[in-house]
Structure 1
Amino acid sequence: MTRNIPKKVREALRKEVNFGCPIDGCGSPYLSYHHFDPPWHIENHHRPEGMIALCLEHHKQADYNAFTDDQLKEFKKNPFLSSDDSIQGQINWKRENLVFLIGGNVFIGAQNIYLNKQEQLLWLTTDEQGNSLLNLDMKSEKGELIFSLRDNDWLVMSNFDNIESIPSGKKLFFENKTEDLKIDIEFNNYSKVDFQKKYAEDIPARWIEIITNKIVAEPITVCVINGHLTYPFEIRMESTGTTINGEGSEITVMGSLTLKNVKEHIMQRGLVVGSGVLIK
């Protein structure tokens, strides 16, 4: 058996503590997984009843027996956060230049990225050091705000079935199965050579050349955003492209084009230098 914990076990452990460290006064959403009953060195296992999700600080304390098994079991039953509490965190990836890969589309030097002509998806502000700070809204089908990202600080305002924010801070994942919503945000750094290798099959060579010429200093910081949204219409963003579904409605995209009663329409991928729109 390896140290790689099965996905379903990780999800169950995070949900058990309401997606925050269960130790009194903590609640950090940046969780790791501690084996305590029995410890890993005594038996290699991934049984959720003998494991608990903890932040890195309290995980390290647990490794050195700061908490008894009975205390850890009590934290599992009665975690610090309740299911009604808001969950919040911060993205510490701050860079002067960001490359966004959103639903198969590439944006360089963007300050504003729109879903369509009316609805803003993502926008950037700048701190005193000139770093770009990320802002993003996630809405329910009725247009109610359920996830907000403001200047790299994020806040969950609704009950989600799955929230994953790994301790490195490079990845955020949120899923609400009732609303049929999910968003996946991931940051990575690449040298220009590694960037070319990584995206050789996903991004046309001429786009890669433009990106590497536009960004002079290394590394290239890439923010990948994919997911499934239902407002103002159904949008599925995947690495291979963006698909929209607007059955029973009209979708006005950038310019004067209006799409009526659209079903499973795959949008053309694009490279945008500066601000732009996803549904073109």
Structure 2
Amino acid sequence: MVSRHVPLAVRRELRQEANFGCAYCGTPLIQYHHIVPFSEEKHHDPERMIVLCPNCHSEADAGTIKRERLYEMKDSPYISDKVEHGFYFESSKPVIKYGGLWHKITNPNQKQASVLRIRGKDIITIYFEDNILTFDIAFYNAKGDQIAGVEKGDWWADTEKLWDMEYKKKALTLASRSHGLGLEIEYDTDEDLVNILGKFFYKNRLVELYTDRTVVNQSTILSNHATAGAGGVSVK
């Protein structure tokens, strides 16, 4: 019996095929769409699958984006080269700005860094490979249940309709009004700088990341610090 879980090798092939973004619109958060529906035939054939963002995935499921168009996008994805990816850096030493920290990646061999950790749990982790920035993000509700997440660009949520997602001009926004959570990531190409803003919850800690400070349960704990390497915001 074929599992609903898409194998790692297939996911990797599909991401590379579309240059790490939605094949239809370029959004850097993706899901795996079966052009030939899984309900019609239980398969994970990469020749009949495509990576789409949640919005385009829903439209494809509804038939708004036709199968023929999806096959066309497999051959000619929105991002024609990885250099066009929303978070592709010309520099090998980009700067990540979040929560009052200026985090400069000075080691070209550095593959990942923790941006935000709450009570020992990594909430935001960034990866920098082949000049492309990807990230892991974990969203939790007040009960401590994980309700959504990103794993190197792969997006999932327990209830999609509770989340708003927007991507334009190298800026990604995620928001859940019902849970009071959100994330903004914007790439300034002139400065080779990524700004990360957000609101996260984990084990009775409400953490808000602003450009110049980190606020925990409405109290500022950090403001305007520079760092390099793998340092990040850690909340106990």
**TM-score normalised by the chain length of structure 2:** 0.53
Q: CA deviation at 1:108?
A: 1.4
Aligned to 2:232: 277
Report the Cα offset of residue 163 of structure 1.
2.0
**Which residue of structure 1 lines up, in the alignment, with residue 197 of structure 2?**
226
CA contact under 8 A between 1:113 and 1:277: conserved in structure 2?
A: yes
Instruction: Tell me the amino acid that sits aligned with residue 87 of structure 2.
Output: W
How far does residue 118 in structure 1 lie from its aligned partner after superposition? 0.5
1:265 corresponds to which of 208, 219, 222: 219
Q: Paired residue for 1:105? A: 101
CA contact (8 A) 2:113 2:230 kept: yes
Bigger Cα Rg: 1
Distance 1:100 1:123 in 2: 12
Q: Which runs of 5+ in 1 are unaligned?
A: 1-17, 28-56, 58-90, 196-219, 246-263
2:77 matched to which residue of 1? none
Query: Once the 2 structures are TM-superposed, how far is the Cα of residue 226 of structure 1 from its aligned partner?
Result: 0.8
Q: Which residue of 2 aligns with 1:124?
A: 126
Q: Which amino acid aligns with 2:148?
A: F
Aligned residues: 151
Distance 2:154 2:231 in 1: 23
Deviations 1:257-278 (A, max 9, x none): xxxxxxx211122211111231
Counterpart in 1 of 2:88? Answer: 94
How far apart are the structure 2 equivalents of 1:162 and 1:131?
24
Q: How does 1:3-22 map to 2 (within 5 A)?
A: 19-20=55-56, 22=59
The amino acid of 2:116's aligned partner reads: Y
Once the two structures are TM-superposed, the CA of residue 153 in structure 1 deviates from its matched residue by 3.3
Indicate how the Cα distance of structure 1 residues 229 and 124 shifts in structure 2: closer, same or farther if over 3 A, else same: closer
How far apart are the structure 2 equivalents of 1:175 and 1:115? Answer: 20
Q: Distance in 1 between matches of 2:103 and 2:151?
A: 20
Post-superposition Cα deviations, 1:90-113, rounded to whole Å, max 9, x if no partner, equal x64233433111123211126222
Residue 240 of structure 1 and its aligned partner are, at CA, apart by: 3.2
Secondary structure, aligned partner of 2:162 = coil
Q: Could you tell me which amino acid in structure 2 is paired with residue 153 of structure 1?
A: D
What's the RMSD between the two structures over aligned residues?
3.0
Counterpart CA distance in 2 for 1:125 and 1:108 is 13
Q: Distance in 2 between matches of 1:161 and 1:136?
A: 14
- Alignment correspondent of 1:149: 150
Q: 2:55, 2:196 → 1: CA distance?
A: 21
Match of 1:70 in 2: none
**CA gap 1:143/1:126 in 2 versus in 1, 3 angstroms:** same
Q: Give the match for residue 236 of structure 1.
A: 208
TM-score, normalised via structure 1 length: 0.46
Contact 1:101 1:107 in 2 (8 A): yes
CA distance in 2, matches of 1:156, 1:236: 21
What letter is aligned with 2:136? N
Structure 1 residues 241 and 26: CA distance shift in structure 2, 3 A? farther
Q: Is the 8 A contact 1:138 1:148 kept in 2?
A: yes
Give a deviation string over 1:211-256, Cα, whole Å, max 9, x none: xxxxxxxxx2x221112112231112222311111xxxxxxxxxxx
- Deviation string 1:64-112 (CA, Å, 9 cap, x unpaired) is xxxxxxxxxxxxxxxxxxxxxxxxxxx6423343311112321112622
